[in-house]
Structure 1
Amino acid sequence: MNSTITAALTTEEELQQLKSSLPNELWFNSYPMYFYQNCWNIILESTISCQNHFKAQDSDIFIASIPKTGTTWLKSLIFSIFNRKNYPISENPLLKHNPHELIPQLESIVYANPQNPDLKTLEKKLNYPRILGTHLPIQSLPTSIKNSNCKIIYICRNPFDTFVSSWLFYLDYDENTNVKDDMIEEYFGKFCEGKFPFGGFEDHVLGYWKESLERSGKVMFMKFEDLKDDPKSELKKLGEFVACPFSSEEEEDGVIDEIVKMCSIEKLKEVEANKSGRVYSFIENKWFFRKGEVGDWVNYLNPCMVERFEKVLSEKFAGYGLEL
């Protein structure tokens, strides 16, 4: 068996055989990653389970991203777009619930238990259309997602801000007792080599970018920085893409402005559910809300580190018209 196996594994014995045959690395000296389907995967069993069993619907909407690129923020915006007529702003469920509770991750929440996935969430808890998140690279998405008419919204972010946000996020993990602040260059080196949860940054981004060029009606490619710079315009584009556009009357009445304000990191930080509690057993909800700024990486990375990854990006993105 090798990393080209797609979704044929069903038994625990087969899974263990596959894992033993794959290259592996420890992320943060604690979390095993396996090189599967041409990328490093930190939740292999859950990935294979959802590849085997998840059935996408044409009406589904997926928020895809590599971790720490604005996923939580985008979830809050998409949820608000679809529910703006169901709840007044003052009663929006985001004021009482973490965004990841309202829009769960496919592979790490619904299929967190690979042998017993939380299908009740898919069948009963999610409204129509079903909105789910995923960190899987495009080549690892379940076939049903690729072949259906569902929509995918992909958000990316400056790679250096992405790394710094991820670095600080993992440092907070309860299980992290071995990795310290002064090891940042070592782990940035891993990032440059593509040894990063859910795959190398440049490959993850480029995969969805190419798909957005080839199937623009299915995949929308967004940048965190554009969302920060002009959230109102980006929100209008989102509404159009998911066939839930804002009317001129709504725009005049300030509906878009209200959503932007309510979903700002400042407002989300004030929500009690985002100050305490856990949607994931190993992640405190408050960790999802740090700064949400553009360019904070300058406080953590030196010029040599930046130059190293800029070379990786320039080589990988050459000829594709993608700039980050």
Structure 2
Amino acid sequence: MATAGISSATVGPVPFDDVDGELPSSERLAPEGLDHLADMVSSLPSKMEVNLPLKLRLYHGFWLAEIHVPAAVALRRRFVPRPDDVIVASLPKCGTTWLIALTFATMVRHVHCPPAPVPAAASAFASASTSSHPLHRLNPHQCLSFLEGLFARGEEAKLDTLPSPRLMNTHMPLAMLPSPTLATTSANSSGNRGGYKIIYICREPKDMIISMWHYTRHLMPAVSFVETVESYCDNHSAKIYGPFWYHILGYWHASNEMPDHVLFLRYEELLRDPAGNVWKLARFIGLPFSEAEEEAGIVEAIVELCSLDRMRGFEANRTGYVDAQ
């Protein structure tokens, strides 16, 4: 695999797109033996997704894209977390891109300091300025690895080449992941013992449903808004990664039972107080802002770097760049 730019002294996370290369065929792994799983996958209950041209299979109580079922099996059995791993988890259309950007910018701030906030009067000229920050040249989704995409392609060996701490994301239910209290070594760079970190974001269901309908209606124009709403409300309907209530509740209960390992955020609260939630996020992952950083306005600089106006322009939000993986 091409790992240009990574040395043993490199501290993560590094922008995944910068180091992602073609994995030699000898290092590729069939997603837990795809041929062996074919009969199992074909025996699972199936339905077509209401809003997407995808066949879904019911696996362990959740509707997954058929192509991701072998990946889910491989993920449960082969993913080896490190104690300083951070995983951003969510249902689709819940503010994932924004949270990824905020988390990445927070984790890399000592290597890639966010630009100072741009005065309102000069904001129209901000795009003309140059910056070395990865988020000025990359989609946030290109800054981390999408777990089900890697495991679906048998390329999880790429995860082993990444320096710690690693930043990843998934839409998978919590049940598909190793226990957040488990990890491979006794202590991470922040002194935390065992387990990795999950940052989960949920969104007001009505807004999530409306966003999904607008996002997918060019793919399935015959599906009405009423049908979309009904498909979310009926737990027997096939919604990718659903039923959504069970998906949300899995992470919610875990955040109460394992608050040191699962942080549960709400999109609406992130909108109301982005700086306060970035501060909370940094503390949760063991990288709290120092008093000097707060006085220097680093929190506010991260919020501006990852502003919603910038997030809305990313291609992933318009074309499904990531979910297509």
Q: Shared topology, TM-score over 0.5?
A: yes
Is 1:100 aligned to residue 141 of structure 2? yes
**Which residue of 2 is the match for residue 132 of structure 1?**
168
Larger RCO, structures 1/2 (Cα 8 Å, 6+ apart): 2
Instruction: Identify the range of structure 1 (66-75 vs 145-154) with the bigger mean alpha-carbon deviation.
Output: 145-154
Q: 1:231 to 1:111 in 2, by over 3 A?
A: same
Deviations 1:141-174 (A, max 9, x none): 1x365533101111100011111112222234xx
CA distance in 1, matches of 2:239, 2:320: 23
What is the CA distance between 1:128 and its match in structure 2? 2.1
Corresponding residue for 2:93? 68
1:86 offset after TM fit, Å?
0.4
The match for 1:83 among 104, 108, 112 is 108
Asked whether the equivalents of residues 56 and 144 of structure 1 are also in contact (C-alpha less than 8 Å), the reply is no
Instruction: Indicate how the Cα distance of structure 1 residues 275 and 96 shifts in structure 2: closer, same or farther if over 3 A, else same.
Output: farther
Partner of residue 70, structure 2: 45
How far the C-alpha of 1:181 sits from its partner, in A, is: 6.0
Give, in angstroms, the shift of residue 38 of structure 1.
0.9
Which amino acid in the other structure matches residue 123 of structure 1?
D
The percentage of aligned residue pairs carrying the same residue is 31
Equivalence map 1:1-324=2 (5 Å): 10-27=32-49, 28=51, 30-42=53-65, 43-89=68-114, 90-108=131-149, 110-113=150-153, 116-120=154-158, 122-124=159-161, 126-141=162-177, 143=178, 145=180, 147-148=182-183, 149-172=195-218, 176=219, 179-180=220-221, 183-194=224-235, 195-269=238-312, 279-280=321-322, 282=324
Contact 1:98 1:279 in 2 (8 A): no
SS at match of 2:248: helix
Q: Distance in 2 between matches of 1:155 and 1:38?
A: 21
> Quick one: distance in 2 between partners of 1:248 and 1:262?
20
Q: 1:73 corresponds to which letter in structure 2?
A: W
Q: Which range is displaced more, 70-79 or 51-60?
A: 51-60
> What amino acid is the match of 1:19?
V
Deviations 1:28-77 (A, max 9, x none): 36201111111111221221222232111111111111111111101100
In structure 2, C-alpha distance between the alignment counterparts of 1:220 and 1:21, rounded to whole Å: 36
Letter in 2 for 1:92: H
Q: Which amino acid counterpart does residue 152 of structure 1 have in structure 2?
A: I
- CA spacing shift, 1:129–1:246, aligned 2, 3 Å: same
Cα RMSD (Å): 2.4
Equivalent residue letter for 1:183: S
Moved more, 72-81 or 89-98: 89-98
CA distance in 1, matches of 2:313, 2:226: 33
> Number of residues paired by the alignment?
263
Distance across 1 between alignment mates of 2:169 and 2:323: 17
* 2:10 matched residue in structure 1: none
SS of structure 1 residue aligned to 2:145: coil
TM-score of the pair, normalised by structure 2: 0.74
Contact map agreement 1:24 1:34 (CA 8 A) in 2: yes
CA contact (8 A) 2:45 2:58 kept: yes
Distance in 1 separating the partners of 2:52 and 2:283:
44
Does the 8 Å contact 2:52/2:216 carry over to 1?
no
Q: Distance in 1 between matches of 2:274 and 2:37?
A: 44
Structure 1, gaps ≥5 residues long: 1-8, 284-324
| Separation in 1, partners of 2:318, 2:292 | 38
